[in-house]
Amino acid sequence: MNFLVCEAIADFRQSEGYREFPLQVRSYFESIAKWLPAREASLPLAAIDAGFAKRLRDRAGRERGYRFGNHTLLLIQVLVKRAVRAGAPLKDRVRNVPRLAPGTPLHHRLRRRTTLRQDARDRTHNPNGGPNALQQRTYIAGDNRQP
């Protein structure tokens, strides 16, 4: 049972265990199968580890929301568990990967850096400073315009 991820998903769709999931979860699984990037879909199940599951969960969460990310993690966990039960020489290393919390911003450090960069851009484009800078203006002699 040396499946690729895309083959394991196709096999899982034909199983009885797939039909035991609620309809909404199955529709998420279908969406994940369509969304799954080709590079990740072509990996063998033996190459899946906790780091891969976290990266895929975070990517799905960033692109489509935390619920989609959590369902992506659930699908990966189910695929690995099925492979282990079928006798594949794998360790179930993805079962302890935590789910995303609702409303948790992903990579808050990157958002902070973007904000700082935006402030720096404001200062370079606006010589008077960014949005929180003191209002200091230089007037040209003879200019009657008021700020």
pTM value is 0.68
| C-alpha to C-alpha distances, 22 to 6, 12, 91, nearest whole angstrom | 21, 15, 27
Q: What is the enclosing helix (H) or strand (E) of 57?
A: helix 50-64
- The residues that bridge with 4 in the sheet, in sequence order, are 44
- Secondary structure (3-state) at 13: helix
**Residue with the two structure tokens 């990967």:** 97
- pLDDT at position 114 is 47
Count the residues in the chain: 147
- pLDDT at position 101 is 87
CB crowding 44-64: b at 16 or more within 10 Å, else e:
ebeebeeebbbebbbbbbbeb
pLDDT by residue for the chain (147 residues), tens only, comes to: 568 999 999 999 999 999 999 999 999 999 999 999 999 999 998 888 899 999 999 999 999 999 999 999 999 999 999 988 888 877 778 888 999 888 765 555 544 444 455 555 555 555 555 555 444 445 455 555 555
- How many CB atoms within 10 Å of residue 122? 15
